[in-house]
Every structure is written in C-alpha cells, then in structure tokens.
Chain A
Amino acid sequence: MAQATISFEEVPSNVPGSLVKIVKIIGQLDESNVDEKAKEIYAVLEANPKNLSLIFDVTGLEYMNSKSVGYLTDWYQKVTETGGSLVVVGAKPNIYDILQVVGLTQLINFYQTLDEAKFAVMKK
C-alpha cells in the first residue's frame, strides 16, 4: 500500500480575517490511500469556509495519480471561490510533468521555494 503523510502548519497572515496554511504532503498518493488522505484536507476546508489560502508543499511527494489531481483541482476551485488562493511549491519533475499534462500548470501557480510561495499568497 502506498504511504503518505499530510501535515498542516499555519502561517501568520498580514491580512485580517484570512488564514494561510501550509499543507505538506510526503510519500505517494494513489488509489490505495488518496480518498482517505483527501478527507484530511476537506476537513480543513470545512473548518475554514472563507478566505483560506493553501500552500501545498509537495517537496516530498514522489507520486500522485489522476484522482489526486482531481482532488487538487477541486480544492483549488473551492478555495478560490471563497476568497482564498492555492499554490504549489517544490514539485519534483515527475510531479510537475503529471500536473502539466492534465493542464493544471495553466491554472495553479508553482514555486521553487516556500518563501516565494508565501510571498505570492500574502500579496494577494
């Protein structure tokens, strides 16, 4: 079975009423675990229905299947529709390749470092 861990870290925001969280994913997301893991992120969205921005740190993500891409698209739509933003940082070449072939790199901004991602999210 694929192994993956998801952790959350809150980033101090300079915008009143908004919340920024780093979502760090390590391991592999595939059919054996993605549905369970996705629930953890949906829980964060439900707890923060407005002005939530997510920085997905995928530096340690080794594989993601098409369903996890689907979830990422859904999170992006939910977050941006309610005043927040979603960016990705540290995608390995194979992960970026997957996201590129399905068209997500035209939708979501990608950054090399966490500092760049934080800066981009904060200035919005």
Chain B
Amino acid sequence: MDNTKTETTTESDITRITITLPTNAYFMSGIRDFTLSLIKNMTDFSEQWAYRFQSVVDELCNNAIEHGSAKKNEEIKIIFLTKERKYVEIMVEDSGTGPKKMTALELSKLVDQRKNQDYTEIGIRGRGLAKIVAEWTDELKFEDIENGGIRVRIKKFLNDPELEKDASQLQGQQVVTGRGPIGPTEKIVLET
C-alpha cells in the first residue's frame, strides 16, 4: 500500500496503530488482512472474533469512503487501539466530503432505525453498520469532528463490560466472570 501511512505508538499496555489511506475500495482487502493479523496476534480474542473484526473494519471503512470521503484525493483514517487483555477500540474518520453529508446524530438515528428493520425492508445496502457493526461491538458511537467529517468509534471488550462495571462498584467482594468468545456470560460473586 504505497499511498498509505502507518504509525504505531505504545503507552504502557495500550498499542495504537493509525493508518491513513486514500478513499479507494481497492485497499480494503489489505486492511482486512491487517485487521485479522492484528487481532489474532496481538489480542486474546478468538479466531472467530478476529474474523468479526475484519467485517467490522471493512464496513466502517466502506461507510467512510462512500459517504464521508467520496471525493478524489480524499483520505480516511483508521485508528486501532488495543489494551492488553481488556478491549479493542477502532475509530474510522472521514473528511466530510461525501455527496450526502450527514451529521453524527443523523447517522446514529439512521443506524438505530435500521437495527429493527426486517431484512426484506433494508434493500441491497444498509446492513453494514446496523446489523454487523452494531451486533459485534459493545459500543458504537458517532462523533462530528473538526474537519467536518464523522468519526465512528467502536469498542469491544474481551470480557463482558457490564460485569466490568459491576466489579468496580463492588467492595469487599470478589467477582469471578466467565465468558467464552460467543457463549453466555456467567457471573459468580464470592463474598469475602
């Protein structure tokens, strides 16, 4: 990828990788391969989740390219943040030059609307963010950014985030959590 820029920084247990690339769908197979490799080799997520992240990143970037940075010579930015044994956070930013520019709030509402639509009502397009990204992430946020574009931010915790919250609020108790990559979550609270 000659037209891409990559930057890696590490602070304590957080690794940040930023990739900037031209808005061209031709680069996406390389980005998917990179995502798969990153998740498999640098996180404790399972192989199934590595493939899921592959889809998530692809859908986020497609959305940014098509709606956010559609003009020639524009760029999108992909930021991967991995906190060891905790979570993966991915942000995709566009430049706000798409033909049907939306605000973060408008895009958020559209995604919420499509989450509940029947598969027959959606049409050829419209599943990416609402069905794939929303289902396979714990947090999905849309933010307006300074350049006029949108930043879409997703986060996926290695363990159940609700239990992480419970654990921080419990005092004098030990919380043991168990969660497989796709299985149910179990919570056992041991009184100490």
A interface residues with partner B (beta carbon < 8 Å): 1-2, 28, 30-32, 63, 65-67, 69-71, 73-74, 77, 93-94, 97-98, 101-104, 107
Which residues of chain A come closer than 8 Å to B124, judged between CB atoms?
Answer: 67, 70-71, 73-74
Given the known interface contacts A31-B62, A32-B28, A98-B55, the answer about A65 and B48 at a Cβ–Cβ threshold of 8 Å is: no
Pick 11 A–B contacts, CB within 8 A, sort by A: A31-B65, A63-B54, A63-B55, A66-B125, A66-B132, A70-B126, A73-B122, A74-B123, A94-B48, A97-B48, A103-B131
Complexed CA–CA distance, A106 and B131 (Å): 15
Contact status A97-B127, CB under 8 Å? no
Q: Is B155 an interface residue (CB 8 A)?
A: no
Contact status B55-A65, CB under 8 Å? yes
Complexed CA–CA distance, A103 and B118 (Å): 9
Residues from 18 to 76 in B contacting A, C-beta threshold 8 Å: 25-26, 28-29, 32, 48, 51-52, 54-55, 58-59, 62, 65-66
Which residues of chain B come closer than 8 Å to A102, judged between CB atoms?
Answer: 119, 127, 131-132
Which residues of chain B come closer than 8 Å to A107, judged between CB atoms?
Answer: 119
Apart from A65-B59, A93-B48, 13 more pairs, CB < 8 Å: A1-B29, A28-B29, A66-B59, A66-B62, A67-B62, A67-B124, A70-B123, A70-B124, A71-B124, A94-B54, A94-B55, A102-B127, A103-B119
Which residues of chain A come closer than 8 Å to B120, judged between CB atoms?
Answer: 73, 77
B interface residues with partner A (beta carbon < 8 Å): 25-26, 28-29, 32, 48, 51-52, 54-55, 58-59, 62, 65-66, 119-120, 122-128, 131-132, 135-136
Which residues of chain A come closer than 8 Å to B25, judged between CB atoms?
Answer: 1, 30-32
Complexed CA–CA distance, A2 and B58 (Å): 12
Contact status A63-B32, CB under 8 Å? yes
Main DSSP-derived SS at the A contact region: helix
With CB as the reference atom, state the residue of chain A lying closest to B131.
A102
Complexed CA–CA distance, A11 and B78 (Å): 46
Contact status B132-A98, CB under 8 Å? yes
Per CB-CB distance, the 3 closest pairs between chain A and chain B, nearest first, are A70-B124, A94-B51, A66-B128
Which residues of chain B come closer than 8 Å to A70, judged between CB atoms?
Answer: 122-127
Contact status B29-A2, CB under 8 Å? yes
Complexed CA–CA distance, A104 and B132 (Å): 12
Min CB gap B64→A, angstroms = 11
